[in-house]
Amino acid sequence: MPAVVRYQVSRGHADCALVALSIYLQVDYEDVLGVACRVTASEHPHNRGLYTREIKRIALRLGTRLKLRRAFDAEEDEGIFGYVTPTRDKGHVAFGKRGLVWDVDGTVWELDAYLAATGYTPVSLLELA
């Protein structure tokens, strides 16, 4: 991962995975969206959300293999973190690096503050294979 993170913001109702992929892989959002449309056979993947398997397939089509980890250190590791909360049925993903979280609304958070404000618990990490 480069020392500079090119930031992207949300453009859909449920596009957190597209934003996180764009940031992590340093690929334009529109390019990620185009591949997502082909991988999911959906015209609007940014409005329905993505499953982990779909995120991995999109990354692979963009030339990067990702692996899923369930054991990780959110303060030290880097990649696309998966989050859950007991009050929401749907999960969320965001790019994280060295204890910082780049969320889809254009904000960059310290991990502790992000978890406290959102109620999320990190449960997975997609990282470079």
DSSP letter, residue 86? T
Same domain, 58 and 46: yes
Closest listed residue to residue 24, CA positions, set 83, 100, 91: 100
Closest listed residue to residue 97, CA positions, set 77, 114, 71, 69: 77
The CA distance from 57 to 39, in Å, is: 7
2 occurs within a structural domain? no
pLDDT of residue 87: 80
Q: Find the length of the chain.
A: 129
pLDDT > 90: what percent of the chain? 75
Domain carrying residue 32: 16-65
Same domain, 85 and 58: no
The CA distance from 51 to 69, in Å, is: 15
7 occurs within a structural domain? no
Q: What is the mean pLDDT of the chain?
A: 91
Give the pLDDT band of residue 8 (cuts 50, 70, 90).
confident
DSSP letter, residue 59? H
Same domain, 85 and 98: yes
pLDDT digits (tens, 9 = 90+) for 28-73: 999 999 999 999 987 777 777 899 999 999 999 999 999 999 999 9
